[in-house]
Structure 1
Amino acid sequence: MTSLQLSAKDEMVEKFLDAAARGDLSQVSILLSHVPSLINQTGYSGWTALMLAARNGHHHVVEALLAYGCDKFSVNSSSQTAYDIAKFWGHRHISNLLNRTDDGCQRVLPGSDIRQQENYFSREMLDRLSAKRTDKVWMEAKQIDSGSVYLLFSKLCPMVNSSQDNDDAGGETKLCRFRYEAVKDLVQKPATVLIFLGVEKRKKSCSSKTEEEAWEPPAWFAINTDEDAAELLKRCRENNCFFPKIPNRDLLKLNEEEAGVVAQARSVLAWHSRYSFCPTCGSSTKLEEGGYKRSCLNSDCRSLQGVHNTCYPRVDPVVIMLVIHPDGNQCLLGRKKMFPGGMFSCLAGFIEPGETIEDAVRREVEEESGVKVGPVQYISCQPWPMPSNLMIGCLAVAISTDIRVDENEIEEARWFPRQQVIDSLFRGIHAALTVPPRQTIAHQLIRHWVGMNSNL
């Protein structure tokens, strides 16, 4: 074979791979009809036409190449199949196509599952024992039990103590825990809101099996009161006790387990603070079921007939999403005026009635930034007790890139290159970009993205 023939063959392969990468189905079909052996030819780093089409989201080309009989299990120099590439870039419709067996069924591939992420405010150290909430005898016995734990809240913030100065970001913050005798007078006041949180999951170490069987885990309660905060602080024997003034900042200093307790307690207490009157008829309401229900005192109110969401603590679902550029190497972050200088975060917004998670992601991104979104993938969620949200974290792939900011929502939005995000996240060397703290799901979504296979 002459060098001229070799050059012509290389040129044909290059033309074929370029057509696949551009999504030119007509050119791909013409070349394959003349030279069928092109189907599994490789270019730079072992990339095939199928891999290039999958990388750039050309579903119609991928479908045609599969019909021509290309090898979808071949790997490039980084040991990645076309499926791996499509999945990484968020082209779910293509990865689903490549993941099918010959009989049309979905194949479960190694590594295809998303690792379960535990976010701040998500850990539960208490067993909620929801079945016990209607057991008045058991509940009253637990309230006066000497081993029960009480948390004191003032204006929806728990009393805490810090090992360092309160304003020191590095200070270790812990919940102040009280026994019944110390808060007995508050519990007995009609205006006090008392909720049952659950019992401790972990058992104490017992010296004998008999002691272990006889031991019952302590019950936890939360109290929210309108009593003067300064007077409440006098009840605590520990030093440096205070009520956090900026919950969005100060509550992020708790350890993971106590943060989970606060997420539960603060969300329920916030609901009580907004629903002291019946939303249906305006009458007064009373607490029931350990603080997890409010019943209208008007016997004629229709809320007493059937099940109504006004009677139980509400949770407001919010989508929060990291939008990935079509090139896969940039992400979209925005900033609000209230953010510290240089801080950018993921876009977010409330899910509307009758709306899916995916549609909410697409709507919110377009409303806030003007960017249109295609594939959406759920990653993890986070309770956010300010006052009672469930943050539903997603990755979303953009299908447009022009930014038009809605200044009523955010003041600025930008595409940030992966390397700049990495430098800010792990090295703190980019003054132009500060990411949210690690306790936020926005931070975890960004970490998830930069941790994805960088070989692509």
Structure 2
Amino acid sequence: NWDTGDEMVEKFLDAAARGDLSQVSTLLSHVPSLTNQTGYSGWTALMLAARNGHYHVVENLLSHGCDKFIVNSSSQTAYDIAKFWGHKHIADLLGQTDDGCQRVLLGSHISPQENYFSRETLDRLSGKRTDEAWLEAKQRKPDTVYLMFSNLSPMVSTPQEDNSLCRFTYETVKDLLQKPATVLIFLGGIQETPAWFAFSTDEDAAELLKLCTERNCSFPKMPNRDLLKLNEEEAGIVAQARSVLAWHSRYSFCPTCGTSTKPEEGGHKRICLNSECRSLKGVHNTCYPRVDPVVIMLVIHPDGNQCLLGRKKIFPARMFSCLAGFVEPGETFEDAVRREVEEESGVQVGPVQYISCQPWPMPSNLMIGCFAVAISTDIRVDENEIEEARWFTRQQVIDSLFREASPAFIAPPRQTIAHQLIRHWIGMNANL
């Protein structure tokens, strides 16, 4: 005698969650209608098997026509769940269409977040960087836009709350461009015209400000704060310009032989002036602008309802943020996440999921944003790295982001990828 109704569904879902392929097959052979039955929070057998890594159960359920497009109460498909928990082989199986091609099954209602400094406002026109005649002609055109940097800060005007980049013509800055210490880089253009350039100069900042006809012009003194006041379009341009100019400021001498170097390819390459230097033979990464990869991760408690945040001594009072650290040579970013989390907090991490990235021109980092699921919860802070680390509940995080009345902590600014990772997490249901 077979049980009926809720008891049968519960037995079927439990077998799928445990990975009992024999019982799943037996139950389906007697009651085929169990295939897409749901339990708590709308979870199907396929979702439970995907959550716990039971590949053969998933395979069997699909062969019986289980609907992989069903979503639970959190708007997640079985694919979303398998991907989150790091079961790539199951995610690949669930992501296949009938013709064997891969597709993305977006069960989440959360829209992708564009991170600050990430917008590509200009077409970089990288193919034009080696065309010296074209670049030289563009430099002299009356509609060409020049951005001026002093000590790696762009000149900005502050009409109200936000900053705006000061834009110059060739006639205004041509004398500065002839100075030996000036570094000029080609940024690109919009449909090839006008062209945009940025340059850095070591001339007196007070004298440079006289070239600006607008009021309230300045060079930001605290870029980590002041550059966050630009609009999204200009922030993306500054991210490119500042990173490349910072590289020029640090690589005026060849790292291979110590000889002076000079810019080429629109400022996107430096070559050694020593004709015998081995950096001139073949392709060498010392000749091109560097990008430093940094992992930044929101660590999620095994219960799904808490996240781990830390604070450094230099943070404003009560501010907590995601843990972060540089990727080491020969290391994957998943391994970097696990290493950095354990080094800074003592917490061990299992599955790691990439979410999004953000250029961070302070001076030339690329922030690789991830979620990471903890497999231990005890915190042992490395005080050389951070001052404090704590688990915060989902409600505490929501209060911090959306309510002003005495939140448990202060969240990082909205322009940071840390803020966006936290915001992304609270948009998900804890029931993964």
TM-score band (shorter)?
Answer: 0.7 to 0.9
Q: Which runs of 5+ in 1 are unaligned?
A: 165-170, 202-215
Q: Which amino acid aligns with 1:411?
A: E
Q: Which runs of 5+ in 2 are unaligned?
A: none
DSSP 3-state at the match of 2:389:
strand
* Aligned equivalents of 2:366, 2:205: Cα separation in 1: 29
Query: 1:70/1:299 Cα in 2 relative to 1: closer, same or farther (>3 Å)?
Result: same
Is 1:393–2:387 an aligned residue pair? no
Q: Which residue of 2 aligns with 1:129?
A: 125
User: 1:441-452 residue pairs with structure 2 within 5 A?
Assistant: 441-452=417-428
* Aligned equivalents of 2:39, 2:137: Cα separation in 1: 74
* Aligned equivalents of 2:89, 2:406: Cα separation in 1: 36
CA contact (8 A) 1:16 1:38 kept: no
Q: Among 70, 78, 100, which residue is 2:73 paired with?
A: 78
Query: 1:96/1:105 Cα in 2 relative to 1: closer, same or farther (>3 Å)?
Result: farther
Query: 1:342/1:198 Cα in 2 relative to 1: closer, same or farther (>3 Å)?
Result: same
Query: 1:17/1:403 Cα in 2 relative to 1: closer, same or farther (>3 Å)?
Result: farther
Is 1:294–2:270 an aligned residue pair? yes
Q: Give percent identity, aligned residues only.
A: 69
Q: Among 157, 163, 172, which residue is 1:161 paired with?
A: 157
Q: Which amino acid aligns with 1:199?
A: G
CA contact (8 A) 2:12 2:27 kept: no
* Aligned equivalents of 1:128, 1:81: Cα separation in 2: 37
Is 1:58–2:48 an aligned residue pair? no
* Aligned equivalents of 1:444, 1:94: Cα separation in 2: 28
User: 1:34-113 residue pairs with structure 2 within 5 A?
Assistant: 40=34, 44=40, 51=47, 57-60=51-54, 63=56, 72-73=66-67, 78=73, 83=78, 86-87=81-82, 90-93=85-88, 96=91, 99=94, 108=103, 110-111=105-106
DSSP 3-state at the match of 1:361:
helix
Q: How much does 1:267 deviate? A: 0.4
Q: How much does 1:426 deviate? A: 2.2
Query: 1:102/1:270 Cα in 2 relative to 1: closer, same or farther (>3 Å)?
Result: closer
Is 1:253–2:229 an aligned residue pair? yes
User: 1:10-49 residue pairs with structure 2 within 5 A?
Assistant: 40=34, 44=40
Q: Among 335, 344, 349, which residue is 1:373 paired with?
A: 349
Q: How much does 1:432 deviate? A: 2.2
Q: Among 179, 184, 191, which residue is 1:194 paired with?
A: 184
* Aligned equivalents of 1:149, 1:97: Cα separation in 2: 47
* Aligned equivalents of 1:449, 1:220: Cα separation in 2: 38
Q: Among 112, 115, 118, which residue is 2:114 paired with?
A: 118
Q: How much does 1:99 deviate? A: 1.9
Q: Which residue of 2 aligns with 1:218?
A: 194
Q: Which residue of 1 aligns with 2:243?
A: 267
* Aligned equivalents of 1:416, 1:423: Cα separation in 2: 11
DSSP 3-state at the match of 2:287:
coil
Q: How much does 1:296 deviate? A: 0.8
Q: Which amino acid aligns with 2:329?
A: P
Q: Among 304, 311, 316, which residue is 2:292 paired with?
A: 316
CA contact (8 A) 2:129 2:266 kept: yes
* Aligned equivalents of 2:74, 2:428: Cα separation in 1: 15
**Deviation per CA, 1:373-419, whole angstroms, max 9, x where unpaired?**
22222221111110011111112222222222222211111221112
Q: Which amino acid aligns with 1:147?
A: D
Q: Which amino acid aligns with 1:303?
A: S
Q: How much does 1:301 deviate? A: 0.9
Is 1:178–2:178 an aligned residue pair? no
Q: How much does 1:91 deviate? A: 4.9
Q: Among 138, 143, 147, which residue is 2:139 paired with?
A: 143
**Deviation per CA, 1:245-293, whole angstroms, max 9, x where unpaired?**
1101100000111111111110000000000111111111111111111
Bigger Rg, which one? 1
* Aligned equivalents of 1:309, 1:101: Cα separation in 2: 38
DSSP 3-state at the match of 1:446:
helix
DSSP 3-state at the match of 2:366:
strand
Q: Which amino acid aligns with 1:324?
A: I
* Aligned equivalents of 2:42, 2:165: Cα separation in 1: 57
Q: Which amino acid aligns with 1:448?
A: H
Q: How much does 1:85 deviate? A: 7.2
Is 1:361–2:337 an aligned residue pair? yes
Q: How much does 1:244 deviate? A: 0.5
Q: How much does 1:49 deviate? A: 6.2
Q: How much does 1:119 deviate? A: 1.3
Is 1:239–2:200 an aligned residue pair? no
CA contact (8 A) 2:53 2:90 kept: no
Q: How much does 1:89 deviate? A: 5.5
* Aligned equivalents of 1:232, 1:427: Cα separation in 2: 43
DSSP 3-state at the match of 1:310:
helix
Q: How much does 1:134 deviate? A: 1.8
